Structure 1
Amino acid sequence: MLVLPAVVAALSIIFAVLTVGINFNLIHSIFIRKSLNKSKSLTLFYLRFVIDGFLGLQNAIMSTFILLKFLEVEYDEPVEFLFWISWTSMNCFNVRGILVIVISLDRTLAVFMPISYHNFRRRIRNFYLAIIPLSWPIVNNIVLWGVCQFRVNIPPGCVIFTCQMNQCYISYALSFEVVSHAIIALTSLILAVKLFIWNHCTQKGPKSRDLERANYLALIDTLIIIIFDIVPAGFTVKFPALSAQFGSLILVCKMSGYALESWLVRRALKRTNDIVSVSYANNSSMIKSTGQASSNHRHHRHINNHAWQ
């Protein structure tokens, strides 16, 4: 039994299950229980929560079969089922990548051109922006079945993406990862610099909580991608023999990153929700106190007038 790959696969399962639980709990808290405030500016993030939940579910299934392989458990491998799970997961990863690019560009343009972009953006519904990432699987299918001429012929014992696909599609997938991560890192670096200058040097008036929250979540996205996607991918390319000893290194890094990001996002949304609740309670108390004082003032005036009469 390969101990290190088995441990990595087990960690992948744990982080994938955490990702599923936290993201679907977020969706439940926002749309069903309504214990977290819903904001129109975070619509694209809500879509990302759903995608992350399904990604966690798919990768929990794949990691389970990878773990069984490393534990040398004998069973009839459902190779075609694993291929379709892996293919669905790859499409979800790409949809998520394009969605994060859309979010990063949206936040960056909103910060650099607040008035003109706001006037332009309010005419475009979030639904139309969501179509861009959600339609990306069409591109993937054209590349896999048309350009790369792929035929489903999975070798026995193959449970991971790199042995399921042909070299043509693997090259496309790696190129997509490099380009999408480069765009996200660049736009988010520009956004971070601009926000730092804006918050510490120029911004003097009141700030929008929704915009601050959206920008903060976009920066969390980027930081997680750099640490848990770009760095492990570079490590795997640079040291392929060493990374092979650890099993599905990229998968466990992605799942741990998504689990951490989900927890940070939930914490940020809950903190903002608590702040809004406290502010609302304070305003209600102030209005109530003001109304009570006004009522007492009118009552005293009525008594004084009655006394003079």
Structure 2
Amino acid sequence: MFFLVVTNVLLSIIFASIVFGLNFYLLWSIFYSKRIPFKSDLILIYVRFAIDVGYNLSVAINKTYYLADIVSKIFVFKNVTLFLLWPTLICATMRVTLVFLISFDRLMASLFPISYHNHRYKISTYHILLIVFCSAFFDQYILFGYCKNVIDVPLECDNFQCSVNQCYQDYWVNHEQVLYYLIGSSSVILFFRLFVWSYFAKTQTSQLISRATQIALLDSIIIFVFNILPLFVYANFSSINFKTVGPLTTVSKNAGSLIESIIICRILLREKVVTAIVVPPNVLIF
């Protein structure tokens, strides 16, 4: 059991550190070295990279402290578990909200391409980011206002379950389940529209799938495979040993993030050589 827990924690640290490095490299390549060309339609994706940098850095630090706790109790200090978990929860809330908004945005672009391109500019990117930040503030209200959590974590606490009360745990699980359901539903409809509907309709209009749509679909696949199943386990088998399953679910999520980051790097780095392309008028870009 001890070996399994330590292995899970080490893998979480390694995966989170690599994902942190990859996302930081992407931002560096886009905004500083210019190796990857900047595209205005990918601004929300860039924001997601920035959130991933903060999220994975906090996960790596959190798990390092947990590993130090396993090694020796001299490294344990009161309330540190909550203080390290705090930014992780904030970043996770912002990330899942942003992923849903990106998926919904791509869905609207696919279902109503003409109306989307005519009216999308009316909704500023700053308005979308405001929704993302408001979701984080609302999450903090639930944590300290509605659920009345206090910063008084037992010294022996080393995980999410003992850091917050049952009220917030229930909210967190239900919140993620609802957003994952919305993301999944949007992605299924988007996939149907892009591939199944177009195939059976035998449309004469060609389609180009934009980088934003590719990344949105990839995000949804990763969430299906690596996030929903661990969340299902946590929500429906709460009686099992959290010290074992907790780190294991984190490993699963971090492994999914690692795979996704590698694929996104390959997608974006292919564009380092920009060639002018004339798009025919009968081609729709989603």
Q: Specify if TM > 0.5.
A: yes
Return the letter of the residue paired with 1:130.
L
SS in structure 2 of the partner of residue 152 of structure 1: coil
In the other structure, the counterpart of 2:284 is none
In the other structure, the counterpart of 1:101 is 100
SS in structure 1 of the partner of residue 23 of structure 2: helix
Number of equivalent positions: 276
**1:231 has 2:229 as partner:** yes
Alignment check: 8 A CA contact 1:62 1:159 kept: no
SS in structure 2 of the partner of residue 62 of structure 1: helix
In the other structure, the counterpart of 1:29 is 29
**Per-residue CA distance 1:27-70 (angstroms, 9 max, x = gap):** 00011001111111111000000000111100001111222233
SS in structure 1 of the partner of residue 79 of structure 2: helix
In the other structure, the counterpart of 2:282 is none
Richer in helix (by share): 1
Q: Could you tell me which of 217, 220, 224 is aligned with 1:219?
A: 217
CA radius of gyration, larger in: 1
**Per-residue CA distance 1:110-163 (angstroms, 9 max, x = gap):** 100000122110222212111111221211121122111111110112122111
RMSD: 2.0
Q: Equivalents in 2 of 1:257, 1:87: separation in Å?
A: 22
- 1:169-184 equivalences under 5 Å are 169-184=168-183
CA deviation after TM superposition for structure 1 residue 203, in Å:
5.1
Q: Equivalents in 1 of 2:198, 2:22: separation in Å?
A: 31
TM-score calculated relative to the size of structure 1: 0.83
Q: Equivalents in 2 of 1:138, 1:206: separation in Å?
A: 43
CA distance 1:184–1:40, change in 2 (3 Å): same
**1:10 has 2:10 as partner:** yes
> Which runs of 5 or more structure 2 residues have no equivalent in the other structure?
279-286
Alignment check: 8 A CA contact 1:243 1:249 kept: no
CA distance 1:219–1:265, change in 2 (3 Å): same
SS in structure 2 of the partner of residue 153 of structure 1: coil
Stretch moving more, 132-141 or 5-14: 132-141
> Which runs of 5 or more structure 1 residues have no equivalent in the other structure?
284-309
Stretch moving more, 99-108 or 158-167: 158-167
- Percent of counterpart pairs with the same letter? 33
Q: Equivalents in 2 of 1:174, 1:207: separation in Å?
A: 38
TM-score calculated relative to the size of structure 2: 0.90
